[in-house]
Structure 1
Amino acid sequence: MNKSRQQELLRWLRQQRHHGARNLRVASLLGFAGALVIIAQAWLLASLLQNLVVAQQPRASLLTDFLLLLLCFVLRAGLHYAREMAGHRAGVAIRRTLRQQVLDRLNVLGPAWIQGKPAGSWATLLLEQIEEMQEYYARYLPQMSLAVFIPLAILIAIFPINWAAGLILLVTAPLIPLFMAMVGMGAADANRRNFVALARLSGDFYDRLRGRETLRLFYRGAAEQEAIAASTTDFRQRTMEVLRLAFLSSAVLEFFASLAIAVVAVYFGFSYLGELNFGHYSTGVTLFAGFLALILAPEFFQPLRDLGTFYHAKAQAIGGADALEQFLRESPDPTIEHASRELSLTAPLHLHAQDLVVMTASGEALSQSLNFTLDAGKRVALVGQSGAGKTALMNVLLGFLPYHGSLQINGQELRDISRDSWQKHIAWVGQNPHLPAQTLRENLLLNSRIDDATLMSVLQRAGVDEFLDRLPQGLETVLGDGGVGLSVGQAQRIAVARALLKPAQLLLLDEPGSGLDSQSEQHVINALQQAATQQTTLMITHQLNELASWDEVWVMQAGQLVQQGHWQELIEQDGPLREMAQHRQKEIV
C-alpha cells in the first residue's frame, strides 16, 4: 500500500468519527481533566516531601495535603475509568454505524453482487476488519489530542520552577513520535496484507466446508487439507510480522523515554552535588523542584508512549479500512432512492421487455438485447447451458440488477418502481434454501397470517407433512444453530411451501430441484407445477423431460434468447433445444 493510499484511508477513518463525536469529545475532556489532576498530584507530593525532609514540619500539620493527595489518587482513577468508557462507547457507535452501512449496501445490491465473493470474505469484512477499528476510535484518536495537551501542561508547570529540566524534556520529546513514525511506516501495509490473507483463508475454508461431500466423493480431502494448511501457515507468518512491528515500536519508545528521564535525573543529581549550577533562576535547585520534575518526567512521556502503543491500532485500522472503504465507495448509496413509485396491480401481471440489456452495478453488460413477453398466467421454462445468462435475467426480474432498454410490468417501467413494492408481488425459490427465522412456523409465514387449514394444505402439497411428525415440536421446532438440523431436501420443501403461501402474482424458480434426491425433487416439482397453473411463472431448469406440458420454452445462449415457443414446436426444428435434448439422451444411454 503506497503512502498516498494510506493518507486517503486515514482521512476516511477520521471522517467516520462524527458517528461517535459526542463520546470522543467527552473522552478528550476527561483526559484533559486527568492531566490537571496529575500535575496537582505531583505538586502535592513534591511539596509534602519538601516539607517533611527539608522543612522538618510535623506530619499532623500536613494532614490537609495528605487528604488532598488521596483525593487526587481517587479522582485520577475515576477520570481514567470514565475516559476509557467514553472512548469505548465512541468506538462501539462508529463500528455499529459502519456495519449498518455495509448491510444496507448489501441489501440494496442483492445476491447478484454478494455471490461475487465467498461468504467468508463478507464475514471477515463485517466482523474482523470493522472490529479492528475499535482501538483506533476508542483510544488512538483521543490520545492524539492528549499527547499534545498533557506534555504542554507539564512544561508550563516545570519551566517556572526549573528551565533546564523543562528544556531537556522539550528537546527529547520529538524523538519519540519521530522514531514511532519510522518504525510504524510499514505496519499499515502489513496489516492490510494480513486482512487480505484472512479474507482469502475464511473464504476458502467456508467454500471447502460447504463442498466437503463433493471433495470426499472425488478423493480430494487430503489435497484440500494440505491447501488449507499452507494458507494457515501463510496467515500465521503474516500475523507474526504484524506483531514483530508492534513489539519493535514499543521497545523503541521505551528506550527513548527511559533515556530522557535518566538525563533529567542525572542533571538534578549533579546539581545537588554542586557540579551543575544553572536552570534554577538564581534561587538554587531545591528538593521540591527536583521531586516535581522527576515525578512529572514519566508523566510527560506517558501520553507519547501511549500514543506509540496505540499507533499499532492506527495501522490495524488503516489495514482494515482498505477493503471497507473501497466497497462503500464503489457500491451504490442506499440513501439515494431513485425508484419510489408504488406498484398497484389492478389486472393480472404481464411482463414485456424491449431491447433489454442486463447490466452489472458497475455498468458492464451481462446479456445481449433481449425481447420477450410473459403474459399473465403463462408458464415459461428458461433453459440453456451454464453461463448463458439465465441467472442474470432472473436477477433483473427480481430487481437486483440494473438494465438498459425497457422492462415493463403492466405498462409501468420496472426501474421506476421501488424494489420493496415490486417484490411484494413475487414469490421466489432458488437452489439453496434459506431459513432465517427461528422456528419452522416463522420461516413459513414470515409475519403473514394464514389459517391452519390453508397452511396444512400447502404443507401437504409441498411434502413437508412427511417429516413434520418427526420434528420434536412440529411447527414450533427451532431450526438452525442450537435447534434441529434439516437436510437440503427438507429445507427446500419448506422454501417451496413458503413460496406457495405468499399471495404473489409472479413465481420465479431458479432450478428448485437442483441437488435434491429423487424423492425430494419429485415432491418439489409436483408442488411447483400445481402452483404454476395459478400464477405467472418463469422457471430456470436443466431438466428437459417435464417441459412438454409447459406453455412456452425459452432457450438462452451467450446472453441472448435464441428460441421461444412451445416444446413440441422447438424440438422438431434444428436449433439449440434439439441439440440439448439429443445430448441429454446420449448421456442417459
Structure 2
Amino acid sequence: MEKSRQQHILRWLRQQRKHGARGLRAASLLGFAGALVIIAQAWLLASLLQNLIVAQQPRGALLYEFILLLFCFILRAGLNYAREMAGYRAGVAIRRALRQQVLDRLNALGPAWIQGKPAGSWATLLLEQIEEMQEYYARYLPQMSLAVFVPFAILMAIFPINWAAGLILLATAPLIPLFMAMVGMGAAEANRRNFVALARLSGDFYDRLRGRETLRLFHRAKAEQQAIAESTTDFRERTMEVLRLAFLSSAVLEFFASLAIAVVAVYFGFSYLGELNFGHYGSGVTLFAGFLALILAPEFFQPLRDLGTFYHAKAQAVGGADALERFLTESLDNTVSNGTATVAFDTPVTLQARDLVVMTPQGGALSQPLNFTLAAGKRVALIGQSGAGKTALMNVLLGFLPYQGELRVNGHELRDISRDSWQQQLAWVGQNPTLPATTLRENLLLNSTVDETTLNRVLECAGVNAFLARLPQGLDTPLGDGGLGLSVGQAQRIAVARALLKPARLLLLDEPGSGLDSQSEQHVMNALQQAATQQTTLMITHQLHDLASWDEVWVMQSGQLVQQGSWQQLMAQDGLLREMVQHRQQEIV
C-alpha cells in the first residue's frame, strides 16, 4: 500500500472517532488517573522501603502508609477495568455506526449494483473487516495518548529525585516507537493483502457452495475442491506472515525496554558502590531514589510496550479499512439520485416514458430509448428472451437504477420523487422470495395492521392455506433465517400474499410463478390477476399462456420495446410474439 494511501486511511479512521467520542474520552481520562495512581503507588512503596530498611521504623508506625498502598492497588485495578470497559463500548459504538453506513449505502445503491459482487465479499466487509477495527478504537487510540502522558508524568516524578535516571529513560524512550513504526509498516501491508485474500476466498467459497449441484453434474467437484484447498493454503500463509510480523514487533519492544531498565539498574548499583557519584544533585544517592526509579522504570516503558502490543490492531484496522473506505467513497458516484419530493398518490399510478434509457450504476446504457404509457389500472405483461432488458426496466421502476430521458409518474418525474415515498406505493414479487422476519405472520404483515377477514381471504387467494394447516403453530410458526423449513414454492406463495396485503398503487411482478408446480402456479396467477384489477400492474413472465386476458402485452428484444398492444392484436400480425408462440408450440409437439 502506498504511504499516501495509508495516511489517507488513517485520517479516515480517526474521523470515525466521533461515533464513540464519549467512550474514547472516558478511556483516556481513566488512563490518566491510573498513571497518577501508579506514581503515588511507587512513591509510597519506595518510602516504606526507605523507612523500614534505612530508618528502621517499626511497622506499626507505618500502618497509614500501608493502608494507602493497599488503596492504590485497589483503585488502580478499578481504573484499569473502567478504562477497558469505556474503550470497549466506544469500539462497539463505532463499529455499529460503520455497519450502519455500509447498510445505508447498500440500500441506496440497490440490488442491481450489489449483485455485481459475490455475497461472500459483502459478508466479509460487514463482519470481518469492521470487526477487526474493535481493538484499534478500544485500545490503540486511547493508548496513543497514554503513551505520551504516562512517561511524561513519570519523568516529572523522577527528575527532581535523580536526573541521571531520568536522562537514561528519556534517551532510550524514542527507540521503541522508532522500531515499532519500522515493523508496523510491513504489518499494515501484510494485513491489507490478507483482507483482500479473505474477501476473495469468501466470495469464491460462497459461489461454489451455491453452485455445488451444477459442479457435481459436470464432474467438477474434485477440481473445485483442489482450487479451494489452494486458496485456503494461500490465505493461511498470509495469516502466518501477519502473525510473524506481530511477534517480531513485540520482541523488538521487549528487548529495548528490558535493555533500558537494565541500564538504570546498573547505574544505581554502581552508585551505591560509590563508582558513579552523579545524578543526585550532590545530596547522595538514597535507597528511596533507587527504588522509586526502579519501580517506575518498567511503568515508564509499559505504555509504549502496550502501544506496541496494540500496534498490530492499527495494522489490522488499516488493512480492513482499505476496502471499506474505498467502498463508502467510490460508491457515492454510483448511488442513484434520490429526490426529495413527496407526492400523494390517491389513485392507481400512470407511468409515461419518453426516450427512457436505463443506465448501469457506472453510467453504461442497458437499453435502447424506450417509449411507453402504462395507464392507471391497466395490467401489462412484459415478455422477451433472457437478456432483453426486462429486469433492467423493472429495476428502474423500483428506483434501483439511474436513467436518462423522462419517466413520469402521474405527471411527476420519478427521479425527483423521494425513493422512500415512491416505494411505499409499490408491491413487488420477485423470483427469489425473501422472508426476513421471524414468523410467518410477521413476514406477511411487515409491521402493518390487517383485519383477520382480509388476511384469511388473501391467504386463500395466494394458496397459503394449502400448507398452513401443516405448520405446527400456524401463522406464528418460526421460520428461521431466510424461511428455513419452507419449500421455494411455499415461500413464493407467502411473498405473493404479502404483496396482495400491501395497499399499493403499482404492482410489479418478476416471474411470480417461478418455483411453483403447474397447479400452484395457476392458483397464484389467478390470485394475482384478480388483485391486478385494483391497481396498475406490470408483470415480467416467460409463460405465454393465459396472457390473452391481460390488457396489454409488451415484447422486448435487445433492450428495446419492439411490440406493444393486446394479445389479439399482436398475434394477428407478424412479429416476435407470434414467432415465440409458434416456437413454443413446436417444442411441445
Counterpart-to-counterpart distance in 2, 1:569 and 1:177: 81
Q: Is the 8 A contact 1:104 1:334 kept in 2?
A: no
Q: Which residue does 1:221 correspond to in 2? A: 221
Residue 204 (structure 1) aligned with residue 227 (structure 2): no
Query: Quick check: 1:444–1:498 contact (8 Å CA) kept in 2?
Result: yes
Distance 1:450 1:40 in 2: 68
Using a 3 Å threshold, how does the CA distance of structure 1 residues 315 and 64 change in structure 2: closer, same or farther?
same
| Matched position secondary structure for 2:556 | strand
1:339 matched residue in structure 2 = 339
Describe how 1:283-298 pairs up with structure 2 within 5 A.
283-298=283-298
Moved more, 496-505 or 528-537: 528-537
Greater mean deviation of Cα atoms: 82-91 or 235-244: 235-244
- Residues in 2 aligned to 1:579 and 1:246: alpha-carbon distance in whole angstroms: 67
Contact 2:201 2:232 (8 Å CA) reproduced: yes
Q: State the partner residue of 1:18.
A: 18
State the match for 2:513 in structure 1: 513
Counterparts of 2:482 and 2:554, CA distance in 1: 44
The secondary structure found in structure 2 opposite 1:554 is strand
Which secondary structure does the structure 2 equivalent of 1:260 belong to? helix
Alignment of 1:175-186 (within 5 A): 175-186=175-186
* Farther-moved stretch of structure 1 (463-472 vs 201-210): 201-210
Q: Match for 1:257: what amino acid?
A: A
Residue type at the aligned position of 1:328: L
Secondary structure in 1 aligned to 2:486?
coil
Partner of 1:460: 460
Cα gap change, 1:196 to 1:571, in 2 (>3 Å): farther
AA aligned to 1:388 is A
The answer to which of 392-401 and 554-563 deviates more is: 554-563
Quote the residue 2:547 is aligned against: 547
1:27 Cα deviation from its structure 2 partner? 1.1
Task: Give the distance between the partners of 1:482 and 1:321, measured in 2 at CA.
Answer: 29
Sort the Cα spacing of 1:587 and 1:478 in 2 relative to 1 into closer, same or farther, 3 A.
same
Task: Say whether residues 1:303 and 2:299 are aligned partners.
Answer: no
Deviation at 1:329, TM superposition (A): 1.4
Aligned to 1:503: 503
2: CA distance between counterparts of 1:213 and 1:517?
21
Q: By how many angstroms is 1:573 displaced?
A: 4.7
2:381 aligns to what? 381
SS in 2 for 1:331: helix
Kindly report which structure 2 residues correspond to 1:278-427, keeping only aligned pairs within 5 A, or say none.
Answer: 278-332=278-332, 339-427=339-427
Mapped to 2, the partners of 1:126 and 1:299 lie a distance apart of 38
Q: Which amino acid aligns with 2:82?
A: A
CA contact (8 A) 1:357 1:366 kept: yes
Q: Deviations over 1:314-333 (max 9, x none)?
A: 11111111121122213349
The structure-2 alpha-carbon separation of the partners of 1:586 and 1:483, relative to structure 1 and needing over 3 Å to count, comes to closer
The one-letter code matched in structure 1 to 2:269 is G
SS at match of 2:376: coil
2:243: which partner in 1? 243
Aligned in 2, Cα 1:394/1:335: closer, same or farther, shift over 3 Å? closer
Aligned position for 2:480: 480
Distance 1:547 1:406 in 2: 28
Q: Distance in 2 between matches of 1:334 and 1:48?
A: 69
Equivalent in the alignment of 1:233: 233
Deviations 1:541-566 (A, max 9, x none): 22234434333222223322233233
Quick one: distance in 1 between partners of 2:483 and 2:506?
Answer: 33
- Tell me the distance in 1 between the aligned counterparts of 2:521 and 2:227: 35
Q: 3-state SS of the aligned residue for 2:428? A: strand
1:547–1:567: 8 Å Cα contact kept in structure 2? yes
Equivalent residues of 1:359, 1:403 under 8 A apart: yes
Paired position in structure 1 for 2:188: 188
Deviating more after overlay: 369-378 vs 481-490:
481-490
Residue 336 of structure 1: CA displacement? 12
Task: Name the residue aligned to 2:442.
Answer: 442
Change (3 A) 1:198 1:342: same
Please list the CA deviations of residues 182-237 of structure 1 after superposition, one character each: whole Å capped at 9, or x if unmatched. 11112122222222222222223333333334444444433333333332222222
Task: Give the Cα separation in 1 of the matches to 2:335 and 2:158.
Answer: 54
Residues 237-293 of structure 1: per-residue CA shift (max 9 Å, x gap): 222121111111111111111111111111111222222222222222221111111
Shift in alpha-carbon separation, 1:507–1:99, aligned structure 2, 3 A:
same
Give deviations 1:109-150, integer Å, cap 9, x for gaps.
222222222222222212211111111111111110110111
CA contact (8 A) 1:477 1:483 kept: no
8 Å Cα contact 1:571-1:577 kept in structure 2: yes
User: In 2, Cα distance between the equivalents of 1:22 and 1:442?
Assistant: 37
Partner amino acid for 1:344? Answer: A
| Separation (CA, whole Å) in 2 of partners of 1:74 and 1:571 | 89
* Residue type at the aligned position of 1:401: L
Q: 1:480 to 1:585 in 2, by over 3 A?
A: same
Between stretches 144-153 and 439-448, larger displacement belongs to 439-448
Q: One-letter code of the match for 1:90?
A: A
- Is the alpha carbon distance of 1:153 and 1:405 closer, same or farther for their aligned partners in structure 2, counting shifts above 3 Å? same
Distance 1:269 1:588, change over 3 A: farther
1:569 CA displacement: 4.0
Q: Structure 2: how far apart are the matches of 1:403 and 1:577?
A: 27
For residues 504 and 50 of structure 2, the distance between their equivalents in structure 1, rounded to whole angstroms, comes to 87
What is the Cα deviation at residue 499 of structure 1? 1.1
| Secondary structure of 1:367 counterpart | coil
Moved more, 498-507 or 212-221: 212-221
Of stretches 415-424 and 253-262 in structure 1, the one that deviates more from structure 2 is: 415-424
Q: Which string of whole-angstrom CA distances, capped at 9 and with x for unpartnered residues, describes residues 452-471 of structure 1? A: 23322222222211111111
Residue 335 (structure 1) shift: 13
Equivalent residue number for residue 267 of structure 2: 267
Tell me which moved more, 146-155 or 351-360.
351-360
Tell me if 1:64 matches 2:64: yes
Length-normalised TM-score, structure 2: 0.94
| Unaligned 5+ runs, structure 1 | none
**Secondary structure of 1:377's match?**
coil
Q: How do 1:91-106 and structure 2 match up within 5 A?
A: 91-106=91-106
Q: Give the deviation of 1:581 after TM superposition.
A: 4.2
Alignment-mate amino acid for residue 497 of structure 1: A
Identical counterparts, % of pairs = 84
- Note the alpha carbon deviations across 1:475-507, whole angstroms, 9 max, x for none: 111112498610111000111111122222211
Aligned equivalent of 1:255: 255
Q: Which amino acid aligns with 2:149?
A: F
Unaligned runs of 5+ in 2: none
Residue number in structure 2 paired with 1:54: 54
Distance 2:266 2:371 in 1: 88
C-alpha spacing 1:230/1:163, structure 2 compared with 1 (3 Å): same
Query: 1:335–1:386: structure 2 CA closer, same or farther, 3 Å change rule?
Result: closer
Residues 21-36 of structure 1: matches in 2 within 5 Å? 21-36=21-36
For 2:198 and 2:148, how far apart are their aligned partners in 1?
Answer: 36
CA contact (8 A) 1:354 1:370 kept: yes
**Amino acid across the alignment from 2:102:** V
User: 2:125 maps to what in 1?
Assistant: 125
Instruction: Output the TM-score relative to the length of structure 1.
Output: 0.94
Segment drifting more, 556-565 vs 411-420: 556-565
1:588 offset after TM fit, Å? 4.6
| Alpha-carbon distance between aligned partners in 2 of 1:337 and 1:203, rounded to the nearest angstrom | 29
Tell me the CA shift for residue 299 of structure 1.
Answer: 0.5
- Corresponding residue of 1:108: 108
Q: Which amino acid aligns with 2:173?
A: A
For the Cα contact (< 8 Å) 1:108–1:334, is it kept in 2? no
The residue type paired with residue 179 of structure 1 is F
Deviates more, 1:147-156 or 1:215-224: 215-224
Change (3 A) 1:354 1:336: closer
Is it true that 1:5 corresponds to 2:11 in the alignment? Answer: no
8 Å CA contact retained: 1:121, 1:199: yes
Corresponding residue for 2:75? 75
1:560 aligns with 2:563: no
SS at match of 1:306: helix
Give yes or no for contact 1:477–1:484 (8 Å, CA) kept in 2.
Answer: no
SS of residue paired to 1:393:
helix
Query: What CA RMSD, in Å, does the superposition of the two structures yield over aligned residues?
Result: 2.3
